[in-house]
Amino acid sequence: MLDLNRRCRRSDSVVFRKINTEAILVPIRGDVADLENIYTLNEAGQFIWHILDGKRTVKDVCEAIITEFEVTAEQSRTDVLEFLGEMVSVKLVEVA
């Protein structure tokens, strides 16, 4: 599980694209798009992705989700940790 005081940033080896209403992440491996591992982001996922600048802590991201989506602190923490955990495990997000 990620520590709430850790900082996260988007990996440089990922391309974000919005096509119509769908947002996708495409990993780039060795200068080639990894089309077998495309990730679709919902609205909350897109919001988190855009604020992962390496300066905000996981706790900061949770607080931003509470403000943006009017969810409880517990729900925000659960969702953010799940999302970031998955993104870290597939190397789309880096932990500082």
Distance CA 79, CA 82 (A): 5
Mean pLDDT of 23-35: 80
Residue 2 within any structural domain of the chain: no
Of 51, 67, 96, give the one whose Cα is nearest residue 83.
51
Question: How many domains does the structure of the chain reveal?
Answer: 1
Residue 62 within any structural domain of the chain: yes
Q: What's the pLDDT score for residue 21?
A: 84
Token pair, residue 3, equals: 């520590």
The pLDDT-based confidence of 20 (bands split at 50, 70, 90) is confident
Query: Higher confidence at residue 20 or residue 45?
Result: 45
Q: What's the pLDDT score for residue 31?
A: 67
Write out the residue range of the structural domain in which residue 53 sits.
7-95
CB neighbours of 36 closer than 8 A, spacing ≥ 6?
A: none
Eight-state DSSP code of residue 36:
G
Reported as a single tens digit per residue, the pLDDT across 36-68 is 789 999 999 999 999 999 999 999 999 999 999
Read off the CATH number of the domain in which 71 is found: 1.10.10.1150
Supply the pTM of this predicted model.
Answer: 0.90
